[in-house]
Amino acid sequence: MPFSVAVAGASGYAGGELLRLLAAHPEFEVRTVTAFSNAGSDLISVQPHLRSLAHLTLVETSPEHLRGHDVVFLALPHGKSGEITAHLGDATLVVDCGADHRLVSEADWERFYGGEYFGAWTYGLPELVREGTGPQREAIAGSKRIAVPGCNVTAITLGLAPAVRAGVIETDDLVAVLSVGTSGAGKSLKPHLLASEISGSAAPYAVGGVHRHTPEIKQNLTAAGGADVRISFTPVLVPMSRGILATSTATLAEGKTLADARKAFEEAYGAEPFVHLLPEGEFPRTAETVGANTALVGIAVDDDARRLVTVTAIDNLVKGTAGAAIQSANLALGLPETLGLPLEGIAP
Ligand SMILES: NC(=O)C1=CN([C@@H]2O[C@H](COP(=O)(O)OP(=O)(O)OC[C@H]3O[C@@H](n4cnc5c(N)ncnc54)[C@H](OP(=O)(O)O)[C@@H]3O)[C@@H](O)[C@H]2O)C=CC1
Ligand SMILES: CC(=O)N[C@@H](CCC(=O)OP(=O)(O)O)C(=O)O
């Protein structure tokens, strides 16, 4: 018997990508899809690319509709997941794609999000290397409550954590600049995302340390062993629908070389199914990850600047959200971690 699944926020981008992947997953059967303004509509009228789920109708996002499933995926605006989970039973696996349960510090939540703090859940980045313990997947196995990372956070964390854990870089002057695709901003109408505003233009946002992902990045790199982690992070919206390209740089620790850095990344990712270190001198393009649950990492050393430079590409909707959610659900339920998740992208 497949696990019975509900997806809340099924009319949005993250919800739509969850459904695309779940439709091809052999152990999950989507029984319930919920929405807000689109409740009452046929799913196919809102997500016309999901033909095999055409029999489903979007219902209101309420505890009554979400209760009683084996697995509930939440792809709701920030603040909405916390409200609803209290009404779901402990037996249900709940995987939240929003931010409500990512931060362990209530003070950080207050500063960057505000509103009621709902507490941290098991963090859904299986490949996160942690100081003194195994990767985060060990914490996910058997968990009933999982918080999926922010997509920018995933790209930066995967590009820096192995070097932090191995002591290859200093952690008090990290810099990350990201090119990010428009789907990260969700499906609702926003004037700055109109085609005539964004086509042919690159636009920075949340400049100057104010992006709400900043404390989450620090949280991860501290877990990886970083002391006094400081990071200047600047996202730049670029005209592509999917993808994140994170260029992260850090001062090399005294005496460390590119060979030390490569060894750290090889040790961290050599056995990972979805995170791949590229050969020396090669760097990823976002196009190579579109539709796939992969993260591609290329690294170099800038000898003049004495800085490690890492470039990480992901599809924000797959490894950055829906793929990570399903990968974590697989682990939590004791299924093979890679089940139903594509390694192959779409090209061109
Ligand atoms: N897009 C991305 O790359 C990523 C998104 N996420 C997270 O996933 C979550 C969903 O994001 P995304 O899919 O992009 O957003 P969208 O705006 O595309 O979708 C939002 C979904 O939430 C529903 N919704 C809107 N308002 C409410 C409300 N007041 N109460 C309940 N439901 C509501 C919408 O329903 P309706 O359409 O019917 O109004 C829709 O189904 C967010 O928390 C986001 O941070 C995480 C990582 C990456
Ligand atoms: C282009 C764009 O706006 N991207 C979003 C990505 C948000 C995201 O996906 O993460 P959350 O789940 O934390 O919202 C941003 O940078 O805020």
Q: Which helix (H) or strand (E) holds 247?
A: strand 244-251
Residue type (1 letter), 163:
A
Query: Is 75 near ligand 1, meaning CB less than 6 Å away?
Result: yes
Minimum-distance ligand to the CA of 237?
A: 2
pLDDT digit string (tens) for 6-42? 999 999 999 999 999 999 999 999 999 999 999 999 9
In this prediction, residue 275 carries a pLDDT of 98
In this prediction, residue 83 carries a pLDDT of 86
Query: Is 61 near ligand 1, meaning CB less than 6 Å away?
Result: yes
Query: Is 310 near ligand 1, meaning CB less than 6 Å away?
Result: no
In this prediction, residue 14 carries a pLDDT of 98
Write the CB contacts of 268 (distance below 8 Å, at least 6 apart in sequence). 127, 129, 161, 162, 165
Query: Is 68 near ligand 1, meaning CB less than 6 Å away?
Result: no
Enzyme catalytic residues: 151
d(CA 253, CA 333): 40
| Region at 255 (left for phi over 0; alpha for psi -120 to 50; beta for the rest) | left
SS3 227: coil
Ligand 2: residues with CB < 6 A are 98-99, 150-152, 180, 182, 184-185, 235, 237
Tokens of 61: 């996002």
User: According to the 3-state scheme, what is the secondary structure of 306-343?
Assistant: CEEEEEEEECCCHHHHHHHHHHHHHHHHCCCCCCCCCC
Q: Which of 180, 193, 197, 234 to mutate to test the pocket of ligand 2 (most atoms within 8 A of CB)?
A: 180
Tokens of 143: 């968990």
| Ligand 2: centre distance to CA 14 (Å) | 11
* Ranges of residues in the chain whose predicted pLDDT is under 70: none
The HSE-up count of residue 229 (CA atoms within 13 Å, CB side) is: 23
DSSP code, position 42: B
Which residues are 245's β-sheet partners? 179, 313
Tokens of 254: 């005294």
Query: Is 36 near ligand 1, meaning CB less than 6 Å away?
Result: yes
